[in-house]
Structure 1
Amino acid sequence: MDKRTEYVEKLSAQMVEWDNQIDLLKDKAESATPEVKSEFHNAIAMLQLKRDEAAAKLQGISTAGDDEWEELKKGTEQAWSGIRTILHDAIMKIK
């Protein structure tokens, strides 16, 4: 298996995990007070937007040429970092 395939599989698995965590946040938001529920919905909307951006970057890596994918990897790493931060912040607000 080449490096790009390994990278795409790793990120795909991470996206599945993020989807699961977003679903958990949605469940917790439903049982929250109205004030907190609004905060959850805002955080979830931002997470879903960032997740969709990351999915587009992942798709770009999957279809890029051998020379292009390394360059796309840099942008993808930045998107992934942003999602990790937002998700971490949202989870910390729940606790």
Structure 2
Amino acid sequence: MSDKKLYEQKIEAEFDTCKAQVDKFKAEASGASADVQIEMHKQIKELEEKMHEGKAKLKELADASEDKFESMKKGVESIWQSTKSTLHHASKHFGK
């Protein structure tokens, strides 16, 4: 399997893990107070936007030629790092 394909699978798995965490936040938000729900939904929306952007970049990477893989990889990695940071902040904020 090519490095490109392995990288795609790795990042896809990381986004799937992030989505599972977002789903967990959604479940927790439903039982929270109104003020907490507002904050949680704000964090969830931000995470979902970052994941959507990351998935779009990952699709671009998947559709790109091997020649463009390295240059596009940096963009995907940047978005993933930003998503991870936002997830970490949300997890820390909610004590998870």
What TM-score bracket applies, with the shorter chain setting the length?
Answer: over 0.9
Q: Distance in 2 between matches of 1:82 and 1:89?
A: 11
Q: Following TM superposition, by how much is the alpha carbon of 1:69 offset from its aligned partner in structure 2, in angstroms?
A: 1.4
Q: Distance in 2 between matches of 1:94 and 1:31?
A: 13
Supply the AA of the counterpart residue of 1:28. E
Q: Distance in 2 between matches of 1:54 and 1:27?
A: 23
* Residue aligning to 1:9: 9
Deviations 1:26-82 (A, max 9, x none): 011111111111000001001000000000010011010111111110011110011
* Residue aligning to 2:34: 34
Tell me the TM-score normalized by structure 2. 0.95
* Residue aligning to 1:51: 51
4+ long deviations beyond 3 Å: none
SS at match of 1:67: helix
Identity of aligned residues (%): 32
Tell me the TM-score normalized by structure 1. 0.96
* Residue aligning to 1:79: 79
